[in-house]
Chain A
Amino acid sequence: MTMALDAVRNAPPAKAENKAESKAVAKPEVHALDLLVPGMTCAGCMRKVESRLEALDGVQSARVNLSAHRVAVGFDPAITNADALVGELALAGYDARPFDPTIHGAARADATGRDLLLRLGVAGFAAMNVMLLSVSVWSGADAAVRDLMHWISALIALPAMAYAGVPFFRSALGALAGRRLNMDVPISLAIVLAGVSSVIETTRSGEHAYFDAGVMLIFFLLIGRYLDHRTRASARSAAAELAAMTGRTALRVLPNGKRVLCPVEKLTAGMRIAIAPGERVPADGLIVEGRTDIDRSLVTGESRAEPAAPGMRIHAGMLNLTGPVELQIEATGDGTLLAEIARLVDAAERGRGRYDKLADQAARVYAPGVHALAALAFIGWYWASGEVLVALAIATALLIITCPCALGLAIPTVHTVASGRLFRAGIFLKDGAELERLAQVDLVAFDKTGTLTDGRPHLVDQPDPDGVHARIAASLAQHSRHPASASIAAALDHSSTAPVTDIREVPGCGVEGRIGRAVVRLGRPAWVGADNHHDVAVSAPDGSTAGFRFSENLRPDAADTVAKLRDMGCEIAILSGDGAEAVDRVADALAVQIRHDQLLPGEKLALLQDWAAQGRRVLMVGDGLNDGPALAAAHASISPADAADVSKTAAGLVFAGESLAPVHKAMVVARDARRRALESFGIAAVYNACAIPLALAGLVTPLIAALAMSGSSVLVVLNALRLRKS
């Protein structure tokens, strides 16, 4: 029994399970597959996903990794396949798709994390044991016993420093090779000097060995490094999830007329694809068959749908509304809109310039100062005492006690806590530096369609709801997918419909049906036979017409969010690709003065670059393909989760949900985080101001150094944790 149980418990490495069985039974072939399941959020989901999969025939093991939202499945390809697994999860209510961790850099990030954790473990072990030995020295061991303790400490500490300090040495060497100074230069120098001077001190049977301080320094700093890595890794995996889940399939039409599913990434120029109504266009191309209406709001920001017929060029990201069409994919060269946008995004990212992270800014002030002080202390003591070793010991003590332990911990802990708080509010942060930039924003530029508004048409003007026109419109509208029809159907009373028969949708025009022998139509005014005063017209059997007008609704809390952002001292601007009238309506409703309409993607980019040149720090909020370059160029950028892929990739933060409130929330958290980080710097500065004179006077013993270092680190971490509450 136990053996069998063990075999099941060891499920995740499916091969291990095989080994146990292979002697008795013929070895079943096992394929390992990772599935990405973003919907898994709790213990219940975890349980459900594992048990549903394991109940399937041919599945040997299923193990969920909740942090990464992945499930590792081992299955027998002879019995089941990936599609069956995805299908089973779909039945359970989870969206899943196969995921290759090597593609999105997830595998490399995992390996780095493991490496840091291992070094952290070694440093922790060494710090604990050396500290134990040091306690006996501090409590009065002397002569031979003290030397023995020091020698054992050296035996533990030197290899541990050499191994666990590698990340700092590597980064310091990299900075020096680039003729820069970063925080890791004084850190590495302190570690090396602590090791060297302590060994010298020990060989001379001296009193002050800094082995404990050296290892503890590495231990604390590695905690900061590891936290930093975790924040970035989880942000990266959120981004990879977005990318993987939007990687859709397209229906390819083969020359012989057969239709096969094909991943969007594998589409190439010249292929023919079929696009059903309600689907997003996967690639740029020419329509070769079928008529439809196209919603281009994600691509150009235009809020109104447009008819499309064979010969028309449509672009990836547009939404096919009413009729099935076939598309001939064009050469994927420079001519396509996607290539154009990608080029602009690249240029914008390059033009944004290197942002100076808070930690780097601090390092630039701090590192030269500390080095100069240490050099002065060395020279001064050498001149006063005439002994190299005494001078070296003082300089080492100064470097250790001023070592930016607190600084190294301050930023990572603040970022970790802040990104956790953002995550709970449905906001994904891609990079800690983005949070720092967000805190400096003084101008918020919104895209209109799909960002400030919900991007759907709502009725503002309609004929008498009890009249014959309204009743006909209500009957016809129920039979169309066009967003205008959906909004008419929603607005009009369903109970009083007209007896319309033979209803059919005419893609690119509207809906038509019959009442008796007379034809009635709902759709484009020109097609219905009405004048162009309205957006949509409807005709009655007697030939008379009536019209509807539409406007977009603001997102539910757009006004509130804009007001709150103003209160925070930000100016508001609207940058839209839509027409002047639509932009004015929204801008007036929100009392926004800075408004620009009919902007091309390049013009949005130019506006942002102008503002940047004037020294403005702009936050760009946008969802469309046309916002991509602007999002990449802005000082900080936020995108809703239903935005175009390019925009989500370019934006620094992504928020989920209908509400715009996360934009304000993100700003609040960013400013809080900045305040906490600066406070932590302040704590570190005060502590250094007290410690430096002591060190210069030669009064710092290893005990004082150890106490001061851990005290300031704990203070900084506690200060960062306050962010959770505010």
Chain B
Amino acid sequence: MTVLGTLIPISLFLGLLGLLAFVWALRRGQYEDLEGDQYRALFREDEDRLRQLPTNVPSQDRP
């Protein structure tokens, strides 16, 4: 039964971690646009942005 002394704190810690992640996501506004975000996952955003980058970014940063 002493194993409980380890397992319960671990499980509580993991649960708390999940809660904190949720609070963080909420604060970052990730629940503001549930309708739009379902499509956003399908955009090849990084590629599109990369193509636009040269105008915004100093040249030595480009690969």
Q: Enumerate chain A interface residues (CB-CB to B < 8 A).
A: 1, 3-5, 8-9, 12, 42-43, 46-47, 51, 54-55, 64-68, 110, 114, 117-118, 121-122, 125, 128-129, 132-133, 145, 148, 152, 156
- Bound complex: CA of A562 vs CA of B15, how far in Å? 58
Query: Shortest Cβ distance from A71 into chain B, in angstroms?
Result: 10
- Bound complex: CA of A55 vs CA of B55, how far in Å? 10
* A4/B53 in contact, CB under 8 A: yes
* B39/A66 in contact, CB under 8 A: yes
The interface residues of chain B lying within 8 Å CB-to-CB of A65 are 32-33, 36
* B26/A121 in contact, CB under 8 A: yes
**Known interface pairs A121-B26, A145-B1. Does A132 touch B39 (Cβ–Cβ under 8 Å)?**
no
**Known interface pairs A65-B33, A148-B4. Does A1 touch B15 (Cβ–Cβ under 8 Å)?**
no
Q: Apart from A117-B26, A125-B15, what are 17 other A-B pairs with CB-CB below 8 Å?
A: A1-B63, A5-B46, A42-B39, A43-B42, A46-B40, A66-B36, A67-B32, A67-B36, A110-B32, A114-B26, A117-B31, A118-B26, A121-B26, A125-B18, A132-B11, A145-B4, A156-B12
* B53/A118 in contact, CB under 8 A: no
| Interface of B (DSSP majority class) | helix
* B31/A64 in contact, CB under 8 A: no
Q: A44: nearest residue on chain B (CB-CB)? A: B39
Please provide the chain B residues from 12 to 62 with a CB less than 8 Å away from any CB of chain A in the complex.
Answer: 12, 15-16, 18-19, 22-23, 26, 29, 31-36, 39-40, 42-43, 46, 48-50, 52-53, 56-58, 61-62
Total interface residues on B, using CB and 8 Å?
35
- Bound complex: CA of A8 vs CA of B48, how far in Å? 12
**Known interface pairs A4-B53, A129-B12, A132-B11. Does A121 touch B34 (Cβ–Cβ under 8 Å)?**
no
Query: Shortest Cβ distance from A113 into chain B, in angstroms?
Result: 8
Query: Shortest Cβ distance from B2 into chain A, in angstroms?
Result: 11
* B11/A1 in contact, CB under 8 A: no
Q: Tell me which of A47, A64, A67, A121 has the highest count of chain B C-beta atoms within 10 A of its own C-beta.
A: A121
* A128/B15 in contact, CB under 8 A: yes
20 contacts between A and B (CB under 8 A): A4-B53, A4-B61, A5-B53, A12-B29, A43-B40, A46-B39, A54-B52, A66-B33, A66-B35, A66-B39, A67-B33, A67-B35, A67-B36, A68-B32, A121-B23, A125-B16, A129-B12, A133-B8, A148-B4, A156-B12
Q: Which of A5, A42, A117 contacts B49 (CB 8 A)?
A: A5
- Bound complex: CA of A66 vs CA of B18, how far in Å? 27
* B52/A118 in contact, CB under 8 A: no
Q: Which of B26, B39, B46, B48 contacts A43 (CB 8 A)?
A: B39
- Bound complex: CA of A117 vs CA of B23, how far in Å? 9
**Known interface pairs A8-B49, A51-B48. Does A121 touch B62 (Cβ–Cβ under 8 Å)?**
no
Q: Tell me which of B31, B33, B42, B43 has the highest count of chain A C-beta atoms within 10 A of its own C-beta.
A: B33
* B56/A118 in contact, CB under 8 A: no
The interface residues of chain B lying within 8 Å CB-to-CB of A47 are 43
The interface residues of chain A lying within 8 Å CB-to-CB of B34 are 67
The interface residues of chain B lying within 8 Å CB-to-CB of A5 are 46, 49-50, 53
* B23/A118 in contact, CB under 8 A: yes
- Bound complex: CA of A121 vs CA of B20, how far in Å? 10
Q: Which of B11, B15, B42, B56 contacts A4 (CB 8 A)?
A: B56
* B32/A1 in contact, CB under 8 A: no
Q: B37: nearest residue on chain A (CB-CB)? A: A66
* B23/A129 in contact, CB under 8 A: no
Query: Shortest Cβ distance from A12 into chain B, in angstroms?
Result: 7
The interface residues of chain B lying within 8 Å CB-to-CB of A125 are 15-16, 18-19, 22
The interface residues of chain A lying within 8 Å CB-to-CB of B49 are 5, 8-9
- Bound complex: CA of A118 vs CA of B26, how far in Å? 7
Q: Which of B36, B46, B62 contacts A64 (CB 8 A)?
A: B36
**Known interface pairs A66-B36, A117-B31. Does A8 touch B4 (Cβ–Cβ under 8 Å)?**
no
Query: Shortest Cβ distance from B14 into chain A, in angstroms?
Result: 10
* B36/A4 in contact, CB under 8 A: no
- Bound complex: CA of A47 vs CA of B12, how far in Å? 41
Query: Shortest Cβ distance from A47 into chain B, in angstroms?
Result: 7
Query: Shortest Cβ distance from B33 into chain A, in angstroms?
Result: 4
- Bound complex: CA of A114 vs CA of B22, how far in Å? 12
In the complex, the 9 A-B pairs of residues with the closest C-beta atoms, listed nearest first = A66-B36, A43-B39, A67-B35, A125-B19, A65-B33, A4-B57, A121-B22, A66-B35, A4-B61
- Bound complex: CA of A5 vs CA of B54, how far in Å? 11
Query: Shortest Cβ distance from B19 into chain A, in angstroms?
Result: 4
* A129/B15 in contact, CB under 8 A: yes
- Bound complex: CA of A715 vs CA of B56, how far in Å? 54
Query: Shortest Cβ distance from B16 into chain A, in angstroms?
Result: 8
The interface residues of chain B lying within 8 Å CB-to-CB of A156 are 12
Q: B39: nearest residue on chain A (CB-CB)? A: A43
- Bound complex: CA of A55 vs CA of B15, how far in Å? 43
Query: Shortest Cβ distance from A55 into chain B, in angstroms?
Result: 8
The interface residues of chain B lying within 8 Å CB-to-CB of A12 are 29
**Known interface pairs A1-B62, A46-B36. Does A8 touch B19 (Cβ–Cβ under 8 Å)?**
no
* A8/B26 in contact, CB under 8 A: no
The interface residues of chain A lying within 8 Å CB-to-CB of B15 are 125, 128-129
The interface residues of chain A lying within 8 Å CB-to-CB of B35 are 66-67
The interface residues of chain B lying within 8 Å CB-to-CB of A3 are 61
Query: Shortest Cβ distance from B37 into chain A, in angstroms?
Result: 8
Q: B41: nearest residue on chain A (CB-CB)? A: A43
The interface residues of chain A lying within 8 Å CB-to-CB of B8 are 133, 152
- Bound complex: CA of A120 vs CA of B49, how far in Å? 35
* A129/B11 in contact, CB under 8 A: yes
The interface residues of chain A lying within 8 Å CB-to-CB of B43 are 43, 47
- Bound complex: CA of A121 vs CA of B46, how far in Å? 31
* A8/B39 in contact, CB under 8 A: no
The interface residues of chain A lying within 8 Å CB-to-CB of B32 are 65, 67-68, 110
- Bound complex: CA of A156 vs CA of B15, how far in Å? 11
